[in-house]
Structure 1
Amino acid sequence: MSAIEEEHVRGGGIFKDISADDDEMQPTVLESLCMNCYQNGTTRLLLTKIPFFKEIIISSFTCANCHWSNTEIQSAGRIQEQGVTYSLRVKSKEDMNREVVKADSATVRIPELDFEIPAFTQKGSLSTIEGLIDRAVAGLEQDQPIRRATDPAVAEKIEEFIEKLKKLKDVKEEFTLIIDDPSGNSFVENPHAPQKDVALSVSHYKRTAQQNATLGIEDEQTGEEDKEKSGDDIDTMRNEVLVFDTNCPECNAPASTNMKLVQIPHFKEVIIMATNCDSCGHRTNEVKSGGATEEQGTRITLHITDPSDMSRDLLKSETCQVLIPELEFELGMAALGGKFTTLEGLLKDIKDLIVSKNPFTCGDSSTSERTEKLQLFGKKLDQLMAGEIDAHIILDDPAGNSYLQNVYAPDPDPEMKIEKYTRTFEQNEELGLNDMKTEGYENS
């Protein structure tokens, strides 16, 4: 049995939370081959968990013979269901200190310099925006001595470009940093959380068949095949709870996922999936819409007037945004995934995401001002759930697949307003509808 397997048996999971306790953060030490001098060196592996980046493997190699060393971070978590693109307008030196998780599958671009770091050309890293630029500069400077000897003209042009990259750190002029990660495992810090960051835009998208093939999760031809279930199969799914084997997203141990089709009164059919892990106790549930994307988007606004409103059933699809104007709060698409819960359950999940499980409220990443602000936001959510704050909650779903219970049904709810609206081009683009043609394709 290997050292990693032994740790899995002892601790009930091989990925440990980041901790200041040295006893909890002991790395696994392995003897391995040095690729520089081909003598034996030492590799240290630390398997840990970082919120918003799932599980990661930190590896550090050192060779006592030639003194060569190498450090890298690899994602050990599952690939997310959607890709993600972060676009940040860097306006000040404070923005350079934003923490960034860059997966190895992510592409980094700076349009103003026509600069791009292609996917899989760098290992995954946890750093800052300044750290990303320093790493890019170091990569370009690495072969400069050879270029100066073999091609001085090219070396001179690269040197000029390196100087431009270095000047970005002074932020004398604004520039845009774009991180596009089809795996969905990259992240850019919002220092203003839980408020919306006007300088940072986050969009999720459906991967193409080619991107799935690049990530190794689906054959390129598979995405082009259209498989349909028969009517008998659908009827069976409506009447039974389907169980299929999977792996726990936390400890990767074998687990079971239950799936069932459920009809929500006065709404539509949804698919509810729940996974329970007997090894580590992790539990998760997810909801998918059982129908197609609606022709119009839906915006549901509820005026919370009584604590009894917290018991209203709520379906939040993956494409739904949640807004609380009185708290200046906005939760973007795909955050928290799809959920079928109550209004109180959704607010508790938001509190856990923003306050309890936020990596920037503890450890080296935290500041007293940021922690105090997030703790205050958590208290306001508690007051909202207790009915002590008069507020509105808005579910804005461009796909039209979200729902909030009308306790007066079938009569109108005086405290709830449901609006239908036409999606913008950008919203259709995010939903992948602009390139989808379902009519008249025979003649095109």
Structure 2
Amino acid sequence: MSGITTESVRGVGSLFRDLDADDEESQTTQMESMCMNCHENGTTRLLLSRIPFFREVILSSFHCDHCHWSDTEVQSAGRIQDQGVRYSVRVASRRDLDREVVRSDSAAVRIPELDFEVPAFTQKGSLSTVEGLLDRAVAALEQDQAARRDACPDVAARIEQFVARLRRLKAAQDPFTLVVEDVSGNSFVENPAAPQRDDAMTSMRDEVLVFPTNCPECNAPASTRMKLVQIPHFKEVVIMATNCDACGHRTNEVKSGGATEPLGTRITLRVTCAADVSRDVLKSETCRVLIPELEFELGMAMLGGKFTTLEGLLADVRDVVAAKNPFLCGDSGGAATTADRAAKLRRFAEQLDLIAAGGMVVHVVLDDPAGNSYVQNVYAPDPDPEMTVEKYERSHEQNEELGLNDMKTEGYEEERGEEEPSE
């Protein structure tokens, strides 16, 4: 069962479906398997399901008709994530107790108020609720209590007191904090207010916000997804992506999650091989891109904000300059007056391809007066010998372009008091 992944069934869109209580039988797969309790044959049921705002999971349930032993388990249908995740939920009402929780076997569950923890890899993965997690903890603690009362009455008494505190939490009598931490990144706590923000929950791998919009191409209803991402050794950025199912149009944009920096930033990278074009690049919407060897400059208004690799940025530049240029297509492409220009643009596109392949040594400059652009330092935290980062004072013209000359961020109360007429 562990070999079933989303990668192995790519292209089969109907394999993972939303849960449907009226069509449960058609969604499950049944097979005979040996009972690990009595070694007779039992029945295992598999359900491939999609959890909203999370990902696909595999639910398995086993039952033996001979010894009546049963077991359930949940596994992620995807790979181990690039980052772990930690959910912290403030549970203060019955609604919070009903939150669904996907807990993989690598997840640890903690209740700080009780100094209580279920360590990772001590239980199988489960799909439950917050109340279900408390029930499972109570059942585990109450197991073998009869034997403890005879052998260690003091220990049994302390466990009974602790179980009583857990029951108070289950009855929503005392608010508490539930922490689910998973190094594999495959655990999940439901947000009942989705797609809006959940004020009672924080996540180190922040949730993706989804809000309705219209496609800029065909005006059909579409969805835009937005997420706050921390770039190592830089700052937080907001990544937004829109995908239209009607016409297939896709677009993405990146905006800085912070304020305009006091100084502008000029990043110069010497590209010497194919490994350099694999560096991560954040180009804000206020950033210019220059390649001095090609006498090329891309203005700040072009391409918008992007978080990609240098190779991806060069590909976008190539599309803007060559592939989508009106001088290279239609009647304009064959006009005598534009033939020389079209040839130059084609040669420029070939040079960009050569740079992307590591066959041409050039300098790529990202000049951002707002200071919100970034190129990955592969030697971090040590200095990068192939890259220089300069900070500079913005000119009056640059401040004017950024709208900073007329921006006022202090002294409102004083001005308001002066403008109010006296009685």
**TM-score if structure 1 supplies the norm length?**
0.47
Higher radius of gyration, 1 or 2:
2
